[in-house]
């Protein structure tokens, strides 16, 4: 190739490059114009809506107006429950509207409008953001009605009633007459103004933090309580009540008297005697020392027992008859075990009482041991006196002589003499059949007193008294004229003492007494 040809090729290459550049520039201008025209169109189109691919809190809001987005926020809002709690227990619950809060569409729309306007603040701004992709994040905006809030957030609306604080105390219960502990009450009264401020602050904070969702628990702050703090430990109060109950119980015992009645004569047991027997527990209950109570009862029995002891009897004729221990079947014997138990029961009850002691009252056949007494005098003016020497009896009732009569006692010649001693009348029966070893006799009035011996009418006899008993006496019984037997029968009661004796110096030998125990043992068969 020659030099001229090379020159033309270089020139041609140089010319193509310029043309290309010019072409590219022209295309760029054209495209820019087209884009600008499109941008202007899109700017106009999205003057009131969010751009394509714009999201709000993750949700697509492309081509939506701020007002539409606000409506969507309201529609999609989850219900919120707000609980006011106390000691982990809900005392007031409601939704946001109960507390005066409601989503404010106008405020949210205005906030969203600012975000939308920023997207299209100018064509250049829009051109710079033609592909969208903004994620707008904003908090829900609430309006607040203070009147609704204040009327709802009131302690008077709590499910747990408000009470004042009450201090524990020791008081006297009139119904039981004992000191009791009035339990303390920790009050829970609340200052509503402070409560409302605390709840308002908690809700607003949750709203700002984005945690005002689902269930929100707001505990009542301690500084909202107005009730005085009280001590709920009643240990010291209980000790005080126990001491007062002890004092009360002891005071009751100081005034307590147990009066034992022995006819018109009394024996009193007072605090000075029994105070050392008592142990008062913290609850005021009383325990009695059984051994000390039993010792007292034993002394009481030794003083007032009248049965199975030696006795002296003053006869109608002025004689003094001494009855040895084995001759006294009539009288009173304190049942010491039963009386001790009764005494302990009375003391533990702490109430004054007046009563007779517990006696052994009847024998194995149900027959009584006694009739009446006045102190240690267990006859007390009511008894049948029988003088076997004189073969005569006297029946005294309440200190007055009711009747007297001759009689016929047990036959001494047949060793069936009537037993001497003091005996209680076992019972009386009319009519009755007297059965002995060799006889069976019907009588109208039967009044047994000792192993088949008794008082009865002897209708077959025409005379009584004198020495009949020595050779023609009874089988051991006391034979009486029918009218006398009737009068005694009608005026005597079971238990009345029958006092039988020989005048001193006239007593027969013991072998002369009736001893037919087989036929006399049950007081039905008789010596006749």
pLDDT digits (tens, 9 = 90+) for 99-127: 999 887 787 788 788 878 777 665 555 55
Contact 526, 448 (CB under 8 A): yes
Q: Answer whether residue 28 shows pLDDT above 80.
A: no
336 or 118, which is more confident = 336
Backbone φ and ψ of 77, nearest 5°: -65, 130
Cβ neighbours of residue 214 closer than 8 Å, sequence gap 6 or more: 78, 80, 81
More confident residue, 379 or 212: 379
Q: What is the DSSP letter of 330?
A: S
- Contacts (Cβ under 8 Å, ≥6 apart) of 21: none
CA distance 279 to 112: 87
Judge whether residue 18 has pLDDT over 90. Answer: no
- Compute the C-alpha angle 231/236/242, nearest 5°: 135
- pLDDT digit string, tens, across residues 229-284: 999 999 999 999 888 888 887 888 899 999 999 999 999 999 999 999 999 887 77
pLDDT at 60: 86
Q: Please tell me the distance from the alpha carbon of residue 456 to that of residue 323, in angstroms, as a whole number.
A: 24
CA distance 294 to 337: 8
257-262 and 353-355 strand pairing: parallel
Q: What is the dihedral of CA 62, 64, 66, 70, to 10 degrees?
A: -100
Residue 140 in contact with residue 207, Cβ under 8 Å? yes
Q: What mean pLDDT is predicted for residues 68-93?
A: 86
CB distance 11 to 17 below 8 Å: no
CA distance 373 to 383: 11
Give pLDDT, residue 525: 41
Band (pLDDT 50/70/90 cuts) for residue 315 is very high
Q: Which helix (H) or strand (E) holds 435?
A: strand 432-435
The percentage of residues in the chain with a pLDDT greater than 90, rounded to a whole number, is: 64
Give pLDDT, residue 422. Answer: 98
Q: How far apart are CA 474 and CA 457, in angstroms?
A: 12
Distance CA 475, CA 76 (A): 125
Range of 40-44, 345-349, 353-357 with top mean pLDDT: 353-357
Which phi and psi angles does 219 have, rounded to 5°?
A: -80, 140
Confidence of residue 518 (pLDDT cuts 50, 70, 90): very low
Query: Looking at residue 105, what is its pLDDT?
Result: 78
| Nearest-angstrom CA–CA distance, 419 and 424 | 13
Instruction: State the pLDDT at residue 103.
Output: 81
pLDDT mean across residues, the chain: 87
Is 313 within 8 Å of 320 (Cβ atoms)? Answer: yes
Structure-token pair, residue 288: 């009695």
Q: Whose CA is closest to 177, among 255, 276, 264, 62?
A: 255
Q: What is the dihedral of CA 399, 400, 404, 409, to 10 degrees?
A: -10
Query: What's the pTM?
Result: 0.59
455, 480 in Cβ contact below 8 A?
Answer: yes
Name which of 32-36, 102-106, 127-131, 206-210 the model is least confident about: 127-131
Nearest residue to 357 via CA among 301, 281, 437: 301
| pLDDT band with cut points at 50, 70 and 90 for residue 133 | low
Residue 183 has a CB neighbour count (10 Å cut-off) of 11
**Residue range 411-445, pLDDT digits in tens:** 999 999 999 999 999 999 999 999 988 889 999 99
User: Which pLDDT score, from 0 to 100, does residue 519 have?
Assistant: 35
User: What's the whole-number mean pLDDT along residues 273-297?
Assistant: 91
Between 373 and 37, the more confident residue is: 373
Residue 8 has pLDDT above 70, yes or no: no
Pick the more confident residue, 250 or 157.
Answer: 157
| Share of residues in the chain with pLDDT > 70 (%) | 85
More confident site: 47 or 170: 170
Domains of the chain as residue ranges with CATH: 65-109+134-232 (no CATH), 234-310+325-363 (3.10.20.800), 383-520 (2.40.440.10)
Q: Which of 163, 149, 142 is nearest to 218 (CA)?
A: 149
Cα(69)–Cα(76) distance, integer angstroms: 10
State both tokens at 30: 């054209």
| Confidence band of 521 (pLDDT split at 50, 70, 90) | very low
CA–CA dist 389, 386 (Å, integer) = 9
Q: What is the pLDDT of residue 29?
A: 62
Residue 213: pLDDT band (50, 70, 90) is confident
- Segment 151-174 shows an average pLDDT of 95
Give CA separation, 36 vs 45, 126, 189, in Å: 14, 10, 71
Concatenated DSSP letters for 183-226?
A: PPB----B-HHHHHHHHHHHHHHHHHHT--SSEEEEEPPGGGB-
């Amino acid at each position: 190739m020659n030099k001229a040809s090379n020159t033309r090729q270089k020139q041609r290459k140089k010319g193509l490059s310029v043309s290309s550049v010019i072409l590219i520039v022209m295309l760029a201008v054209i495209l820019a114009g087209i884009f600008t025209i499109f941008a202007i169109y899109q700017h106009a189109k999205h003057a009131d809506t969010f751009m394509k691919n714009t999201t709000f809190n993750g949700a697509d809001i492309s081509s939506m107006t701020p007002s539409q987005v606000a409506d969507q926020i309201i529609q999609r809002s989850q219900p919120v429950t707000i609980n006011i709690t106390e000691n982990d227990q809900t005392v007031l619950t409601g939704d946001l509207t109960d507390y005066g809060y409601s989503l404010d569409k106008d405020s949210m729309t205005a906030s969203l409008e600012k975000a939308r306007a920023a997207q299209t603040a100018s064509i250049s701004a829009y051109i710079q953001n033609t592909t969208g992709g903004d994620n707008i994040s904003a908090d829900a905006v609430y309006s607040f009605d203070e009147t609704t809030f204040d009327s709802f957030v009131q302690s008077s609306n709590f499910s747990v009633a408000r009470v004042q604080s009450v201090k524990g105390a020791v008081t006297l219960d009139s119904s039981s007459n004992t000191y009791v502990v009035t339990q303390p009450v920790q009050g829970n009264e609340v200052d509503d103004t402070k409560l409302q401020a605390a709840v308002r602050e908690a809700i607003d904070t949750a709203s700002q933090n984005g945690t005002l969702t689902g269930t929100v628990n707001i505990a009542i702050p301690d500084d909202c309580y107005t009730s005085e703090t009280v001590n709920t430990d009643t240990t010291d109060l209980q000790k005080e009540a126990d001491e007062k109950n002890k004092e009360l119980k002891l005071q009751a015992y100081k005034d307590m008297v147990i009066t034992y009645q022995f006819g018109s004569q009394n024996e009193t047991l007072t605090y000075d005697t029994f105070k050392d027997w008592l142990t008062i527990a913290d609850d005021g209950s009383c325990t009695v020392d059984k051994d000390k109570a039993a010792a007292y009862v034993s002394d009481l029995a030794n003083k007032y027992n009248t049965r199975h002891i030696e006795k002296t009897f003053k006869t109608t004729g002025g004689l003094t008859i001494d009855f040895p221990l084995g001759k006294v079947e009539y009288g009173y014997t304190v049942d010491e075990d039963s009386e001790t138990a009764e005494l302990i029961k009375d003391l533990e009850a702490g109430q004054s009482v007046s009563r007779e002691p517990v006696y052994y009252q009847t024998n194995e056949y149900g027959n009584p041991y006694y009739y009446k007494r006045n102190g240690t005098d267990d006859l007390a003016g009511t008894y049948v006196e029988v003088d076997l020497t004189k073969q005569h009896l006297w029946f005294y009732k309440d200190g007055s002589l009711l009747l007297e009569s001759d009689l016929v006692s047990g036959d001494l010649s047949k060793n069936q003499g009537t037993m001497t001693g003091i005996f209680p009348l076992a019972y009386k029966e009319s009519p009755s059949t007297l059965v002995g070893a060799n006889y069976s006799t019907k009588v109208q009035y039967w009044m047994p007193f000792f192993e088949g011996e008794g008082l009865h009418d002897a209708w077959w006899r025409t005379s009584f008294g004198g020495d009949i008993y020595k050779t023609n006496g009874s089988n051991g019984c006391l034979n009486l004229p029918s009218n006398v037997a009737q009068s005694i029968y009608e005026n005597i009661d079971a238990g009345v003492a029958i006092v039988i004796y020989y005048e001193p110096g006239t007593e027969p030998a013991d072998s002369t007494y009736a001893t037919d125990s087989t036929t006399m043992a049950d007081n039905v068969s008789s010596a006749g």
